[in-house]
Amino acid sequence: MRIAYISTYPPTECGIATYTQYLSDSVSVKGKEIRILAQIGAKGDNVFEVYAPHDKDIASKLFFHVERLTPDIVQIEHEFGLFGDQRGVQIIEFLIRCNLADTPVVVTLHTVFEDLKYQEKIIVQHILNLSSTIIVHENFQRDILLKNYNCPNPILVIPHGVREVKRVENAKELLGLEGKQVLLLAGYMRSTKNFEKIIDLLPRLVEKNKDLVLLMASRSRINEHSDYKDLLYRSLNKPDVKRHVKILYGKFPQFTLDTILSAADVMALPYLKGGQSGVLAQASALLLPVVTSELMSFKNWIEEVKGGFYAKTDDEYVNHITNLLQDDDLRLEFQENIRISNESINWSQIANRHIELYEKLIVPPIGGAQFYYRPERLDSNTKIVH
């Protein structure tokens, strides 16, 4: 089986690029052929640099590669704005071209909110009409689609995957944080992350937790949200705050990020907007309890996994963070809850669910015909028949 993923891809820095790398690698391990059709800048085996985000002919460039690579399935990792102007409308033309070629297309919608803009709603409706199957990460996202759109094709809920990785045991020592209670803020700097909420509460948190250090490991892409970044750093540079803060900067490749996550006792996610968070998946992989805002995706995760608390008020943020920092047994309980949850949503399990879907979408040309593919790396006595 040959799958073509259409997405951003590393070393491009983007949550969807990282997501696609984890998913495609996990599917590849299970004996499937992978092709990546990506924006200019992507690198790797079977990765094709196809288009720049400002191009006017994205649909034709993508389909040119589909025609020549002849995938059995195309999967689009969709985010608004990745496919040209007008919120990425060119992806609709590409879907039409795939329909004309009888090529099944799965679309993962990474952004599903009640308050999408007018242009975005039109694009979503066309995606729903033209896709073989839609994937979302959350049940409430499927509910939003069913409530607000005509949905002629199946909508499947497949959670965001979680890596299988061990904590870096000496992480606090590596970061000079031995004996400290470490509260982490991490991820790209955007105003919707609401990091200033935790910074503003820091004096109250320090009053209750004398050994507290706020570990700030965040960055922005080039000049994206530069005013917000400047605002945060000014607020962190105040004398009464600065002595309780450790700021890390850099590119944070995966093992570096794992070290930072492993040094933390609690992560705060005070977001104002967002779907299921890649940062939450990173925290889960390192068994890191969280205190979040009451965004639907966070509330659902906390109620299902019991790996943290969500907060409605400033008092709740302070109390929940303090409880987790001071109660070792509670932290260990939440870590175990996260570990158990991760067993069903590790990337291997998520890959299996995608492959099950792909197999259903490949239609035999005649009754009794079998799909056959033998990966080159398997021995000569091994065959794969679906």
- Model confidence pLDDT, tens digit, residues 49-82: 999 999 999 999 999 999 999 999 999 999 998 9
pLDDT, tens digit, 9 for 90 and up, residues 83-108: 999 999 999 999 999 999 999 999 99
Quote the pTM value. Answer: 0.90
pLDDT, tens digit, 9 for 90 and up, residues 281-331: 999 999 999 999 999 999 999 999 999 999 999 999 999 999 999 999 999
Lowest mean pLDDT among 138-152, 199-213, 239-253: 239-253
Mapping DSSP onto H, E and C, the string for the chain reads CEEEEECCCCCCCCHHHHHHHHHHHHHHHCCCEEEEEEECCCCCCCEEEEECCCCCCHHHHHHHHHHHHCCCEEEEEECCCCCCHHHHCHHHHHHHHHHHCCCCEEEEECCCCCCCCHHHHHHHHHHHHHCCEEEECCHHHHHHHHHHCCCCCCEEECCCCECCCCCCCCHHHHCCCCCCEEEEEEEECCHHHCCHHHHHHHHHHHHHCCCEEEEEEEECCCCCCHHHHHHHHHHHCCHHHHCCEEEECCCCCHHHHHHHHHHCCEEEECCCCCCCCHHHHHHHHCCCCEEECCCHHHHHHHHHHCCEEECCCHHHHHHHHHHHHHCHHHHHHHHHHHHHHHHHHEHHHHHHHHHHHHHHHCCCCCCCCCCECCCCCCCCCCCCEC
pLDDT, tens digit, 9 for 90 and up, residues 230-256: 888 888 888 888 899 999 988 888 999
